[in-house]
Amino acid sequence: MDVEEILDELGRKGEEPPVMALRAAWQNFDGVRERLMMVLGVAAEDPWILSESEVWQLNYGFFILAAKRHKPALAPLLGFLSWAEADAFEIVGDFLSEDAAEVIVALACGDGDAVADATLRQSLQWYVLDALHRALGIMTLRGEWPRASYLAHMDRMLRDHLLDHSAAPLPAWSAFAELAAWTHLPELATQLADLYRTRRIDPDFVTEEELAKIFRDPQAPAKFLARHPEIVDPADRVARWGASWEGVGEKTPVRKWLRVGRNDACHCGSGEKYKRCCGETL
């Protein structure tokens, strides 16, 4: 496939992801890089002016840029995720809740400071904050960012109550506390307990007992990393979802994943949340 054919396929709405075009884009990255970066740059400035074709290219472009560890894409990605005039979820759907952390890690190339700085922006959506913090946890557990820096950042978030300034503090704090447990930061246990006492954590998201259980699990960090594999082949990464797509409005597609959500009831019938049941072993 030549460059124009690749971009045409990446910009076309379909029931199945364009596996051949994704692999061709990965192999001919120099040919598609400029276009993907242009679309991402527009998304960082004003995503609502993107055409429908460009929105599809943006969705697939995240994985292509991540697979190539193209660090120049980090700044516009962070700009897009924190764009103040729109809910980014309306543009890219479940990318934010399922893949954003791994994409951020790949594009950061170990620059945890840039990611940490992005968490300090005002009025971020809670799932954007969760993706940013998960990215920091992943980088730390992989040895790409110093644990001391990660601990200092998480401690600052708690000490200064910075998540109170997010768009939705309750889920933001809840996800933050759970992440601290999965990445084993026992130094923060007392401060996390205070979050329950001040009702900053939603017990329906994670109870204090569940948090303590994760802290006691020596395999928790390994399980966390297993749920966040590196993005190596963009086609394999996209195809693994078995995703179908459904348009919303005139321009903005939203993914309708066939995979169960992290906080949904597990499909095995156990009655547990998916993330605490079959999802733990993935």
Specify the amino acid at residue 125.
Q
Other beta carbons within 10 Å of 136: 27
Quick one: tokens of 46?
A: 């004003």
What pLDDT score was predicted for residue 126? 87
pLDDT, one tens digit per residue, over 127-152 is: 889 999 999 999 999 999 999 999 99
Instruction: Answer yes or no: is pLDDT of 248 > 80.
Output: no
Mean pLDDT over each residue of the chain, to the nearest integer = 85
CB neighbours of 201 closer than 8 A, spacing ≥ 6? 170, 173, 174, 177, 192, 195, 208
Angle of helix 29-45 relative to helix 52-67, nearest 10 degrees?
120
What residues pair up with 248 in beta bridges, in sequence order?
252
State which amino acid sits at residue 254: V
- Closest Cα to residue 232, out of 59, 56, 64? 64
User: In the predicted model, what is the mean pLDDT of residues 226-250?
Assistant: 68
**Looking at residue 167, what is its pLDDT?**
83
What is the pLDDT at residue 172? Answer: 93
What pLDDT was estimated at residue 150? 97
Residue 206 has pLDDT above 50, yes or no: yes
Query: How far apart, in Å, are the Cα atoms of 18 and each of 13, 95, 184, 262?
Result: 9, 16, 39, 26
Mean local confidence (pLDDT), 276-281: 54
**pTM metric for this prediction:** 0.84
Neighbour-count burial of 233, counting CB atoms closer than 10 A to its CB (0-12 exposed, 13-18 middle, 19+ buried) = middle
